[in-house]
Every structure is written in structure tokens, then in C-alpha cells.
């Protein structure tokens, strides 16, 4: 199973009563001097809906997080804005039935759960950056502060 599958399973275990909607996005990393694309770094962003409390959290899965963390609060807000439409969401039951969720009923708690294998930037720095956008970062990191 890949990192996204493993981390998605961890989110499902941590929030078993919640429905989830995700999108797979990527950062395009370019050379500052030439503008040449050096790498594409894929990540998954996931809305976690607590239907009982009408709360919404965000999960971010990224195999290793470095300086692109500065873009994440804006991307969380972009993702939330896109979700304001009514969507079909898979609701946890045996039949796999889908039911429509009106996401306008859900209030974003400001909680962002970061699932990663490697954190290449200080956790404190990332948390302070999220706090500027009134978000609370909760890290679920396998290996912290590794040097490249």
C-alpha cells in the first residue's frame, strides 16, 4: 500500500464516525533561476465531516513536507471554498450507499491534521504559520526533522 493509502487508513481510524471527501493535488517545484520544473510533489487534502456535531476538519497527507508548507493554509481555504457546493459523499455503512451532504451546514473548526512520513521543517514553525490563518495544526509525523 502506498503512503496515501496508509495515511488515509490512519485518518479513517482516528475519525471512524466521520465522512470524508478528498482531492489529490500537487506542488510543482521549479528552479528559482531558470523556472524549469524540477519535481512534482503530490499530496492529498481531505475534508473530515462530523455529521453529529456539524463540524468539519481538514486532513493533509504528504509523504514529506518541506518549504512548501507556506502554501498549505491558502490551499486549505481554497479546498474549503470548493466544497461549499453540495456533493455526493460516501457515508460509512455496509451497503456503500451515497447520500447528499449539504456542506453549508458544517462549520470549519480550524483544525488541520497533517499526516506525513517526514517533516523537513520545524514543527513549531509550521504551527505558527498555520496560526496566522486562524488554523490549529495537529501533526501526525512518523519521522521528525530529518535533514536532506
The model's pLDDT over 113-141, given as tens digits with 9 standing for 90+, comes to: 999 988 889 999 999 999 999 999 999 88
The model's pTM is 0.81
Q: Tell me the C-alpha to C-alpha distance, in Å, between residue 145 and each of 80, 121, 131, 137.
A: 29, 6, 20, 16
Number of domains the chain is built from: 1
The model's pLDDT over 25-39, given as tens digits with 9 standing for 90+, comes to: 998 877 778 888 777
- Find the domain containing 125 and state its range: 3-144
CA–CA gap between residue 71 and residue 80 (Å, rounded): 15
Amino acid at each position: 500500500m502506498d503512503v496515501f493509502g496508509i495515511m488515509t487508513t490512519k485518518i479513517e481510524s482516528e475519525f471512524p464516525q466521520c465522512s470524508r471527501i478528498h482531492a489529490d493535488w500537487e506542488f510543482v517545484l521549479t528552479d528559482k533561476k531558470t523556472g524549469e520544473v524540477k519535481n512534482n510533489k503530490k499530496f492529498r487534502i481531505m475534508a473530515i465531516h462530523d455529521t453529529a456535531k456539524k463540524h468539519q476538519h481538514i486532513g493533509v497527507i504528504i509523504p514529506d513536507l518541506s518549504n512548501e508548507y507556506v502554501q498549505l493554509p491558502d490551499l486549505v481555504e481554497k479546498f474549503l471554498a470548493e466544497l461549499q457546493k453540495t456533493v455526493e459523499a460516501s457515508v460509512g455503512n455496509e451497503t456503500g450507499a451515497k447520500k447528499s451532504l449539504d456542506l453549508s451546514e458544517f462549520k470549519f473548526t480550524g483544525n488541520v491534521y497533517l499526516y506525513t512520513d517526514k517533516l523537513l521543517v520545524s514543527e513549531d514553525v509550521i504551527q505558527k504559520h498555520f496560526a496566522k490563518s486562524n488554523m490549529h495544526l495537529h501533526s501526525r509525523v512518523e519521522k521528525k526533522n530529518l535533514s536532506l
